[in-house]
Amino acid sequence: MKIVLLDWYTVSVNGDITPQVFEQFGDMKVFSLTKPEETIANIGDADVVLCNKVLITKEVMDACPNLKYVGLFATGYNNVDVAYAAEKNITVCNAGQYSTNAVAQQVFAYILDRYSRIRDYDNAVKNGEWERSPAFSYFPIPTAELAGQTIAIVGYGSIGRRVAKIADAFGMNIIISTRTKPSDCPYEVTDVMTAASRADVITFHCPLTEQTKGLVNSELLKVMKPTATLINTSRGPVVNEADLALALNNGEIAAAYVDVLEKEPMSPETPLKNAKNLTMTPHIAWAAFETRERLVDIVCDNIRSWMSGQPKNKVN
């Protein structure tokens, strides 16, 4: 069996994880990155394709007749035409729930950054402000406790549940907004507009669908408190970037933290680039070493299951 890894760089930027584990399944070819115009040639006569963000389109599948399996180093699978893959009897499997711990941790790194202002006080100390203080304690930048603050969690999958669990440990009030009401949710469940209007922090953990695309828009932002913080670690297009930039620049909300954008790598044209009170990270919430090791293990297990005739995490 022939296996091609199309964009291994997206899994191991620094070479800290080796792709050699996939050699157990057959002859392997590894590409650091694959441009759209290179996809067909790079796949060639391979039976198995492993990728993260490379587009696997109808044209690609038609041009690669040996292709039988597409394994994704990701939970999302919108880069693959899964319906056409089913028609071609090509199995597509994603890697679900590998990043739960890391993404939830990133969300609270953002929240603690906002509420404890460690970066701001570190800068103040380095600038000599504490040395010039007339008192032993210097606290001109407001901080606040998380206990008693209301967090709205949009999406109640594995990541949303973990965020809720951590928020509960901090003593926060928790509101859930999700497409279908879960039977085992111990928290209040409401619609997204109500959740946004009541939230001190609102964090998005929903998949990208036609219903969630542009969910964060001027209408939602206008019902939020002017003291509220918005967090997006889900998918970039969940946020209308122009609307969020306008809300931040006009002081309609206090702050935002985003790890994902509509176009990645970031376009210099994004209206969020110079937005006020915005903290942006380059799609790293999933990228902890242990998380990526877990991801590789899941992708390997998916291949084994498919080879045994009982595929796991099949999305088509």
Q: What is the DSSP letter of 31?
A: -
- Residue 40 Cα distances to 10, 46, 85, angstroms: 19, 10, 15
Four-CA torsion 172, 178, 182, 187, nearest 10 degrees: 20
Can the peptide bond before residue 265 be classed as cis, meaning omega within 30 degrees of 0?
yes
Considering the candidates 188, 262, 283, 293, report the single residue annotated as catalytic: 283
Q: Do 257 and 110 touch, CB atoms closer than 8 A?
A: yes
Whether 283 is catalytic is yes
Task: Please report which residue ranges of 234-278 form alpha helices under DSSP H.
Answer: 241-249
Whether 205 is catalytic is no
CA angle, 33 then 39 then 44, to 5°: 115
Considering the candidates 235, 241, 252, 294, report the single residue annotated as catalytic: 235
Q: Do 194 and 136 touch, CB atoms closer than 8 A?
A: no
Considering the candidates 129, 264, 290, 304, report the single residue annotated as catalytic: 264
Residues with a catalytic annotation lie at 235, 264, 283
